[in-house]
Amino acid sequence: MLNGQVTLVTGASRGIGHATAVAFVKAGAKVIIAARRGSALENIAGQIASLNGVCLPVQVDVTEETSVRQLVERAIAHFGRIDVLVNNAGAIVYGPAERATLEDWDTVIGTNLKGSFLCAREIIPIMARQGGGHIINVASQAGLNGFPNLGIYCASKFGLIGLSKSLGRELLPSKIRVSYICPGWVDTGLLAIFPQKMVTQASKASPEHIAQQILRLAMIKPGTSSRGTLLHRIARVLKRGLGSASSDTYSSF
């Protein structure tokens, strides 16, 4: 259980983020729910209150440095610490590369990669002062495989996995763990951008299923090898590309 631990979840207004916030509250954590849509956050805060949970809703734009900094400042002012960061805020575009716009690139890379970097950068010093913490990045099977018509999204998720691996090694002396999880198809509103036939044929996981995987990662006890080098825990479920509901999970601790 995560009794008393404080978790910050971005992209918490829907889908995986919403399910993750609820799962962590049920596990005893206090949760900061962050997203662009403030009205949706208030509704989720009401749901969490009905579970006798503790949460702080904060409207944020993870692509903006000032907005992220204010988010973290509010979280610390309210709870005094952050034990787990779940970088879940995401954006996606689907279509041929030659039709993609610079705005598409900035939106997807800015949300998925830059946003995760900014949140981690602001929280790392806090976790270091606390003596440890855990950063969990929600990547994708599209971060492990190059899929047609998803070039920008793949670039963002490949980059997020690279960032996760780098930070996992860099932050080991600070006892900050870094993990990433790579879901396949997940039954959320983001599927609306794909051709209907593709979505219908896909084997889809529920947001609640992915949230439970994230929760299990957060509950893994840290450890190192006998030589003090980084220990990699890799839990692999059969990979079948984006057409599968399975996920690949990498955890460094």
* Cα distance between residue 176 and residue 208, in whole Å: 26
CATH code for the domain in which residue 92 is found: 3.40.50.720
Please report the beta strands in 153-224, taking only residues with DSSP state E, as ranges in sequence order: 176-183
Flag whether 15 is in a domain. yes
* Structural domain boundaries enclosing 211: 6-252
Predicted TM-score (pTM) of this structure: 0.90
Give the pLDDT score at 251. 52
Query: Is residue 97 a part of any domain in this protein?
Result: yes
The secondary structure element, H or E, covering residue 250 is: strand 247-252
Is residue 238 assigned to a domain? Answer: yes
Positions marked active-site: 153
First-to-last alpha carbon distance for the chain, in angstroms, is 18
Q: Please report which helix (H) or strand (E) contains residue 169, including its range.
A: helix 151-170
Residue 85 is assigned to a structural domain of this protein:
yes
Tokens of 122: 């602001």
Q: From CA 253, how far away is CA 93, in angstroms rounded?
A: 33
Q: pLDDT by residue (tens digit) across 89-132?
A: 999 999 999 999 999 999 999 999 999 999 999 999 999 999 99
* Confidence tier at 181 by pLDDT (50, 70, 90): very high
Alpha-carbon distance values, 204 to 184, 195, 208 (Å): 8, 15, 12
pLDDT value at residue 37? 87
Q: Is residue 31 part of a domain?
A: yes
Tell me, what's the pLDDT at 48?
Answer: 97
The total number of structural domains in the chain stands at 1
CA distances from 107 to 32, 114, 127, 160 (A): 23, 10, 28, 15
* Domain-located, residue 1: no
Please name the residue that has the structure tokens 């830059």: 114
